[in-house]
């Protein structure tokens, strides 16, 4: 079974681009990925594309062929939709196809256009990632759902708004030098605590912003990389996927995420590594509490012990295992369908040394964690760089 290399990666700026279409954003990200890879478009055998809410924000489904065209491809294309984990699933299926000899070269990526809907419209659109019948019609929004999860966590394990604020501060700090980030602005714990409450105990700075953007990566087999003498030192060595009940009310846990635990376990087994081997992680911090749940699902911490990681300095850029050196969804932004692949883009650059925060990476093994809805679906990937 061949290995899978990340031959090239590309992003658009993440931010407010309400005048740009999804195809325009994806054309830019994929162009950058091809330039970075040095792989001709004609060699691409398949596009795996993630998008979440194009039906609502652009009145556009069937984006597979549309985005293949935007990327200059004639290859067939498949659109994956798993809410905010859409392009994480696209990566996973590409990794499997390359390993299994179904293809040597795939383009993966995603795009999302959100700001044209406005804040209320986006909140309503995002709600399609929850159970419409049993959650959304009862008034649930995503800030409310993650607030419930935060309350459950605090009740069960302890923790405070200050602990969550430290995560926001860390991720804003990490984004300062990331030219693709929506917010390149430092904040303080006081700023976070003083911000308006959006759903208690969560304040405005506990939430990721509304973001337009796109991501793309060219994945190739070891054989292709060798034959074409590509400079592609980073490999995807592990992939995992997990699922859970859709609605929070049907879950066994509110303060744990079994879908992510299963995805992590599968990805670690697949790569032949354990959580202690991981040097750096990009996790799905759509809300600050979500980063805590991710750290525990990835088994970096036992349940109840992840909450203080940022405050203790363990996950900061000077820590032993920095988390969200890109700025995370919190500060870099979260164009939902683009995020899963975007994490792979950031991790690739962190590991190969051309990311502004690469100097903070203490080892060779990175993990990406991409969650859909209230973590009803998750993909986890392990990336490693040649020593």
Task: Return the number of the residue (100 or 119) whose C-beta is nearest a copy of itself.
Answer: 100
Task: Return the number of the residue (75 or 193) whose C-beta is nearest a copy of itself.
Answer: 75
Least Cβ distance, residue 132 to a copy of itself (angstroms): 5
Binding site for a copy of itself (CB under 8 A): 21, 23, 52-56, 58-62, 64-66, 68-69, 74-83, 89, 93, 96-97, 100-102, 127-133, 136, 241-246, 250, 259, 262-263, 372-373, 376-377
Least Cβ distance, residue 277 to a copy of itself (angstroms): 24
Cα–Cα distance between 177 and 184 in angstroms, integer? 7
- The rounded Cα 61 to chain-centroid distance in angstroms is 22
3 state SS of 116: helix
Least Cβ distance, residue 230 to a copy of itself (angstroms): 24
User: Which two structure tokens, joined as six digits, stand for 86?
Assistant: 């859409």
Task: Please list the active-site residues.
Answer: 84, 334
Q: Backbone phi, then psi, for 3, in 5-degree steps?
A: -80, 170
Least Cβ distance, residue 66 to a copy of itself (angstroms): 4
3 state SS of 220: strand
Cα–Cα distance between 68 and 190 in angstroms, integer? 46
Least Cβ distance, residue 97 to a copy of itself (angstroms): 7
Q: In what order do the strands lie in the sheet with 213-221?
A: 46-50, 105-112, 213-221, 4-11, 234-243, 377-385, 365-372, 280-282
Least Cβ distance, residue 242 to a copy of itself (angstroms): 6
Task: Return the number of the residue (23 or 352) whose C-beta is nearest a copy of itself.
Answer: 23
Task: Return the number of the residue (18 or 101) whose C-beta is nearest a copy of itself.
Answer: 101
> What element of type H or E holds 368?
strand 365-372
User: Which two structure tokens, joined as six digits, stand for 316?
Assistant: 């900061």
User: Which two structure tokens, joined as six digits, stand for 6?
Assistant: 């990340």
Task: Return the number of the residue (100 or 188) whose C-beta is nearest a copy of itself.
Answer: 100
Burial code (b: 16+ CB inside 10 Å, e: under 16) for 343-356 equals: bbbbbbbbbbeebb
Least Cβ distance, residue 281 to a copy of itself (angstroms): 21
Cα–Cα distance between 191 and 189 in angstroms, integer? 5
Cα–Cα distance between 297 and 313 in angstroms, integer? 19
- The rounded Cα 309 to chain-centroid distance in angstroms is 20
Task: Return the number of the residue (66 or 202) whose C-beta is nearest a copy of itself.
Answer: 66
Cα–Cα distance between 68 and 86 in angstroms, integer? 16
Burial code (b: 16+ CB inside 10 Å, e: under 16) for 230-248 equals: bebbbbbbbbbbbebebbb
Task: Return the number of the residue (127 or 289) whose C-beta is nearest a copy of itself.
Answer: 127
């Amino acid at each position: 079974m061949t290995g899978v290399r990340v031959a090239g990666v590309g992003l658009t700026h993440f931010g407010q681009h309400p005048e740009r279409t999804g195809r325009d954003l994806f054309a830019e990200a994929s162009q950058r990925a091809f330039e970075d890879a040095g792989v001709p478009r004609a060699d691409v055998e398949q596009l795996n594309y993630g998008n979440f809410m194009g039906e609502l924000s652009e009145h556009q489904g069937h984006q597979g062929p549309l985005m293949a065209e935007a990327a200059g491809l004639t290859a067939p294309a498949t659109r994956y939709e798993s809410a905010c984990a859409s392009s994480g699933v696209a990566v996973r299926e590409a990794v499997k196809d390359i390993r299994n000899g179904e293809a040597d070269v795939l383009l993966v990526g995603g795009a999302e256009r959100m700001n044209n809907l406005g804040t209320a419209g986006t909140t309503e659109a995002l709600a399609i990632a929850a159970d419409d019948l049993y959650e959304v019609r009862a008034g649930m929004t995503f800030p409310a759902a993650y607030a419930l999860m935060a309350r459950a966590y605090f009740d069960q394990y302890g923790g405070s708004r200050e602990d969550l604020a430290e995560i926001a501060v860390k991720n804003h700090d990490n984004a300062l030098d990331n030219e693709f980030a929506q917010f390149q602005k430092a904040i303080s714990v006081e700023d976070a605590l003083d911000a308006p409450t959006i759903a208690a105990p969560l304040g405005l700075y506990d939430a990721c912003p509304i973001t337009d953007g796109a991501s793309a990566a060219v994945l190739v087999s070891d054989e292709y990389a060798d034959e074409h003498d590509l400079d592609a030192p980073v490999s995807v060595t592990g992939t995992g996927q997990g699922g859970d009940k859709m609605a929070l009310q049907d879950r066994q846990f509110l303060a744990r995420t079994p879908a992510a635990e299963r995805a992590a376990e599968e990805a670690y087994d697949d790569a032949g590594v354990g959580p202690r081997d991981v040097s750096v992680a990009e996790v799905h911090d759509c809300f600050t509490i979500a980063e805590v749940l991710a750290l525990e699902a990835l088994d970096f911490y036992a349940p109840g012990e992840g909450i203080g990681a940022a405050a203790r300095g363990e996950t900061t850029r000077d820590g032993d295992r920095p988390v969200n050196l890109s700025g995370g969804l919190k500060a870099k932004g979260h164009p939902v369908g683009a995020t899963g692949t975007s994490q792979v883009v950031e991790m690739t650059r962190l590991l190969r040394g051309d990311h502004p925060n690469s100097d903070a990476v203490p080892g060779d093994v990175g993990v990406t964690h991409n969650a859909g809805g209230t973590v009803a679906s998750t993909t986890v990937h392990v990336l490693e760089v040649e020593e």
